[in-house]
Chains A and B, each alone.
Chain A
Amino acid sequence: MTTFLGTPGVGNLRGDEPFPAAARTALADSQLRRNIGHATHTIRAKRLNAIRECDDWEQLRAAGSALKQDVMARLPELLEQLEDNVTQRGGVVHWARDGDEANRIVADLIRATGSDEVVKVKSMATQEIGLNEYLEAQGIAAFETDLAELIVQLGHDKPSHILVPAIHRNRAEIREIFTREMPDAGELTDDPRVLAMAARAHLRRKFLTAKVAVSGANFGIAETGTLAVVESEGNGRMCLTLPQTLITVMGIEKVVPTFADLEVFMQLLPRSSTAERMNPYTSMWTGVHPGDGPQEFHLVLLDNGRTRVLADEVGRAALHCIRCSACLNVCPVYERTGGHAYGSVYPGPIGAILSPQLTGTTGHDDPNATLPFASSLCGACFEACPVRIDIPTILVHLRAQQVDQERGTLRGVLFSGQDLAMKAAGWAMSGAGRFSLAEKALAAGRLIAGRDHRISALPWPASKWTASRDIPEPPAETFRQWWNRTHERDRR
């Protein structure tokens, strides 16, 4: 069974090995690569169709981006306003500095109801803080109700995608998990509809009898104290409507100024995430509605590193993320490694800039310090991002921070292969004779290329490069040799 090792205090934001090592394991799993490749390619084409329908898509993205910048600039007043309005409408607001504190608050609130189980709506914030594991240790059973979360929970697995945590599983694997873990489900096929029906039957009783639900929130509206949850299956509505007590854990960056601002986000989010004009269900509630839904409502506002991200003028844009996962679906790195290689509950391009900033990094060997390098900087993520987070720029910014940290240290001097390589290249390229000599030496590379005309293993220090990439075989003739040969007559 794989579980997050986690980090004390902050939860599931850091893996236990650096990205290159984790990626190597993932790349060797051809089933995983097939599953993720298939799913990401399906959604890419659909997303393009969904946004092509909006001739004001770029204007919506610009508005979404500006709205989030405004939120960050006015975060203290907006949070206080949200707290005020939730409280006035019968809710109770709690604040948590880190994951541990949030977990304790939620567990205490559940215990106070006398219940020892909760139903859960899919929520990145509670994944992030490892709430399920904490509750289990406290003797409280947490039932995930989102289909993909259920697949992950029943498979004793960990999530690998923000929107579809079980994206690394195909239908046959899901059928196997359900057959093993749901003895009452009877004979199952691997038809997605049959599997969805099995989940419905499995959770129906739970929904109708649950006393306490735990959710996240997509948006919290400062102006009114309204919370919003965007979902598809109706499991969210079940959790937000039927239990007596509702506990919502929300990252502080999820606040938006006004109700009208949702006119932007409710266009950007569904089309970017599931590539639909609108997701099947969105629920909005404000405190307690007498006679309708939970009569006890708690909102837990979570920091857990967000203020650390906010302090970085460039990096803070990572907090604009609305968790649509479009950047994962278009990323050539994510497509090949899947989400587990990133170690954190936030994988893919957004994870590569969010996780290291949320946790801070302790040095070269910190797995999160390797994440900003897990990118080819192709820019597909920026182009797909509905709130225009310039992920490549933040990746480069974080890389620079990492290199600066190491400059002047023993490691920086001895092991910075990059520095050495650049200096050597600079020397070789600055003289015609030296360059010509280097070209001749390169041609020797043909001797070690394989039958596929690629070089896949070189001795140290070049092994650092070939460990994860092939080098194409050098051409038999350099440009200058070709020129001399074909233009010999002109020279005479």
Chain B
Amino acid sequence: MTGPTPRARAAVLGQVRAALASAPPRAVQVPRDYHHEPLTGAGDVERFAETVSEYRARVHRIDADAIAPTVLSLVGPQATVVVPADLPNEWIAGLTTVPDEPALGVEQLDRADAVLTGCALGIAATGTIVLDAGRGQGRRALTLVPDHHICVVRVDQIVDTVPQAFAELTPTRPLTFISGPSATSDIELQRVEGVHGPRTLDVLIVATLPTGRSRMFLAKH
């Protein structure tokens, strides 16, 4: 097998330096006058619900104690639901769950009816949910292979803008940005939902927990 190629490395970097030396670029200041104000107060839950549903994801506005019954009504009593091992117990009361511990094989994930997770945050402007493999989210394969993803977003996890989301995320965690169910525009540039990722996405927007933990704490753990 080829190891890293020191000669090619030196050659490419040498060429880059030579190219820049032959016509030195001017130093640039990046203008940051686009909207990148931090979030003040609560995120725009109405807008989040609207933008998520415009991707044809199904949105449910519920109270914290309604998570398990809502999931049950979505998947039916016979369904097996894959869950990360650290999902709060009260979310899965009365459900037939398969925890990902020890790690499930892809075939098991493929046979499951649905997967239930939390998330790191939601973005109101774009209807995006971000997973970062943190608490209640599990590894990336969990939310990918089952055909139905049910994702719990607490209202205090919602930010308004894309820059606010990047300010809260930790880049060295595995990150997945999800905006609606799997879709394609590859046939005549018309959007069709449902290709390789989960074809059904249910987003449960949950009123804030009474404990009042801050968003920063939950996103960064």
Interface residues of A (CB under 8 A from B): 35, 38-40, 42-43, 56, 59-60, 62-63, 66-67, 69-70, 72-73, 75-76, 79-80, 89, 92-97, 101, 104-105, 108-109, 111-112, 145-148, 151, 164, 166-167, 170-171, 174, 192-193, 195-197, 199-200, 203-204, 207-208, 221, 223-226, 232-235, 237-238, 241-242, 252, 259-260, 262-264, 266-267, 270, 274, 276-286, 289, 291-293, 301, 303, 307-308, 310-313, 316
Contacts and interface: CB of A to CB of B under 8 A. Distances in A.
21 contacts: A40-B189, A56-B33, A76-B17, A79-B16, A95-B11, A96-B8, A101-B8, A108-B1, A166-B186, A195-B187, A232-B183, A234-B144, A241-B140, A262-B166, A266-B166, A278-B126, A278-B128, A281-B176, A281-B197, A292-B141, A293-B174
Contacts of B198: 234
B208 interface: no
Contacts of B140: 237, 241, 283, 292-293
B139 A293 contact: yes
Nearest to B201: A280
Scoring B32, B107, B182, B191 by chain A CB atoms within 10 A of each residue's CB, the highest score goes to B182
Interface stretch (B23-31, B60-68, B74-82, B210-218): B23-31
Nearest to A94: B4
Contacts of A109: 1-2
Nearest to A286: B172
Interface string B168-190: 01011111111111111111111
B196 interface: yes
A174 B187 contact: yes
A208 B104 CA distance: 13
Contacts of B166: 259-260, 262-263, 266
B15 interface: yes
B220 interface: no
Given A146-B186, A199-B195, A280-B182, A221 B171 contact: yes
Contacts of A146: 186
Contact of B187 (A101, A196, A208, A221): A196
A214 B147 CA distance: 24
Interface string B141-167: 100110000000000000000110111
Given A200-B194, A280-B183, 4 more contacts: A59-B33, A76-B20, A259-B169, A283-B176
B31 A63 contact: yes
A310 B16 contact: yes
Contact of A292 (B106, B139, B180): B139
B22 interface: yes
Contacts of B118: none
Contact of A147 (B139, B174, B187, B189): B187
B28 to A, nearest CB: 5
